[in-house]
A and B are shown apart, each in its own frame.
Chain A
Amino acid sequence: MAETLFFNALREAIDEEMAKDPTVLVMGEDVGHYGGSYKVTKDLHKKYGDLRLLDTPIAENSFTGMAVGAAMTGLRPIIEGMNMGFLLLAFNQIANNAGMLRYTSGGNFKIPMVIRGPGGVGSRLGAEHSQRLEAYFQAVPGLKIVACSTPRNAKGLLKSAIRDNNPVLFFEHVLLYNLKETLPEGEYYLPLDKAEIVRKGKDVTILTYSRMRYHVLQALKTLEKDEVDPEVIDLISLKPLDFETIGESIRKTHRVIVVEECMRTGGIGAELTASINDRFFDELDAPVLRMSSQDIPTPYNGTLESLTIVQPQQIAEAVRHMVAAKV
């Protein structure tokens, strides 16, 4: 069976849900005629028309607020952040209204909307286009945060996000859109709150998400000769975190390495580490090791940029070190 590119898997998810439910629509910059900056909505406007693929003016806070209003009144909008970093301009609407309004309204309204787009550090895009907003948004109550990482999970998760009755912040990664994979036949949905076990193992639990999943897997290739047997978990759900899967793994390995692309301070790893200490301290044989991006604006220069994010060889060394220290 033919392989499907990552961005086409996302497109299939949107197409299938739009075909099924006339209340589903896409709003954002260049989502219509242009087909999306990464072609996730290519040609959908020809099938569904300009109102369902609504090309908006460049007004992030306002079109995001419009989506909140549309969701409150019964539609199921999907917002595309042309680059997720741009949604810093929509922070208020995402935090105050998408995230909190259901609660402050005492349950009067629900906000079924998806906010999706490319996040992460790309290839020499400069600081503003290389953000990891998941860290900034994780403190907002009422939001679900998902990071997809393969064509297969991208499609199944996005379909579930569109069907979900809550606001879902859905992170794709700018460097993963051209991955290919054979997708399952027929329609499928994946749960938004379940982590994915990428590799079963017993020596150490590696918690990662999005593109760092591939840095971890690359590192493991160099470790195979050392007979190290780590368990790799792709978190998928950054909020809420799937502590069932995480806990099960920790009870087996008693060691944790977090590999993340967001910055160290206030990152997903910071929350993970604190929560693991809260919940599984007695299971740990070593402190949780956090491998995060540097706390700096992502530099343009290629060498500096690669020094900013965690590299496979660093992961390999860390795993070796942690397993070697095992008593």
Chain B
Amino acid sequence: MVQERAFPTFQTAPAQVTRAEGLMLYQDMVLGRFFEDKCAEMYYRGKMFGFVHLYNGQEAVSTGVIRAMRPGEDYVCSTYRDHVHALSCGVPAREVMAELFGKATGCSKGRGGSMHLFSEPHRLLGGFAFIGEGIPVATGAAFQSKYRREVMGDENADQVTAAFFGDGTTNNGQFFECLNMAALWKLPILFVVENNKWAIGMAHDRATSQPEIYKKASVFGMPGYEVDGMDVLAVRGIAQEAVARARAGEGPTLIECLTYRFRGHSLADPDELRSKAEKEAWLARDPIKKFSAYLTEQNLADQPELKAIEKTIQSVVEDAVQFAIDSPEPDPSELYKYIFAED
């Protein structure tokens, strides 16, 4: 049988974690999962609207990369599937949930919605709904770090930017244009591909002449890595390396995380094209279960501890929902607020 490309033998070394780090990563992944499950429930109950793209299955990527960065200092740029990136950045679950409910207390004040989450204090640059358009913005943030350091003489300007996007985006011009510029100017940026194999209904292999995305880095003289996107420590390991390189002024890295979304493209997607066998194979590689097993096998945590974390997170998510329900709608008199900087 031909080895499916999604399960190759990975060359990257997993991160070593302390007990505290392990629990932190576990908690972040569980928050992502529970939050998204709650979103599905709230969507079907008519509490949130529009297009809602859930992240279930991909948690190891968000946690693995963002939690290897400096929260509130480094920049993160996301896509329309942005809830969990926002949470990993430290945006409070209350603010993300309230935004999905369209409330004034949401992180984008009810103006953005699911695909437009922003938080300046958490250095979350968005929430970009169109394919590829966040990559140049992230590249600009990375350029800014270099500019502050080299033009303005700011020694502390060593912030790194992570740009997240999917496999479908890697066929878009902005991806190639920005890889070129980032490599050309040695910008401190991580290009993180969450290759979940499907761009809505377009199978990755049907869309690209070279399915191994990490190899596309080489033509720009940039390191590119393929990593098990269902293994948080594998992602964390490569992210730590890439962050260190970026901070040291050694330039960008392309990281292709092989992962899978456990739900349809959005909650409006009937998800008719992905085979049962494929879904089952990937569900068996659930990153949270995998990491839970690792933590207990390594004696970093025991099951009751992990259950306690899950219980705490469940209450964080419930609290977020209650907060969203209790929050006020945006003031209609402020319809025009935020169009201009002075508003």
Contacts and interface: CB of A to CB of B under 8 A. Distances in A.
B116 A105 contact: yes
Interface string B169-194: 00001100110110010000000000
Contact of B141 (A49, A59, A73, A105): A73
Interface in A71-107: 71-75, 77, 92-93, 96-97, 101-107
Interface residues of A, number: 46
B341 interface: yes
B338 A107 contact: yes
A11 to B, nearest CB: 20
A65 B116 contact: no
A96 B141 contact: no
B140 A105 contact: no
A269 interface: no
Nearest to B125: A72
A107 B337 CA distance: 8
A107 B106 CA distance: 12
A62 interface: yes
Contacts of A138: none
A247 interface: no
A120 interface: no
Interface string B124-144: 011111100101111111111
Interface size on B, as a range, is 35 or more
Nearest to B134: A65
Contact of B136 (A49, A66, A106, A112): A66
A199 B276 CA distance: 75
Interface in B136-166: 136-144, 146-147, 150-152
B133 A108 contact: no
A71 B138 CA distance: 11
Contact of B140 (A49, A52, A68): A68
Interface string B246-265: 00000000000000000000
B111 A104 contact: yes
Contacts of A73: 75, 125, 140-141, 144
Given A73-B75, A105-B118, A106-B111, A62 B177 contact: yes
Interface of B: 75, 77, 106-112, 116, 118-120, 125-130, 133, 135-144, 146-147, 150-152, 173-174, 177-178, 180-181, 184, 337-343
24 contacts: A25-B147, A51-B150, A52-B151, A57-B181, A59-B173, A62-B135, A62-B173, A65-B135, A66-B136, A68-B136, A68-B137, A69-B137, A70-B140, A70-B143, A96-B129, A96-B130, A103-B111, A105-B338, A106-B108, A106-B110, A107-B109, A107-B338, A109-B118, A165-B340
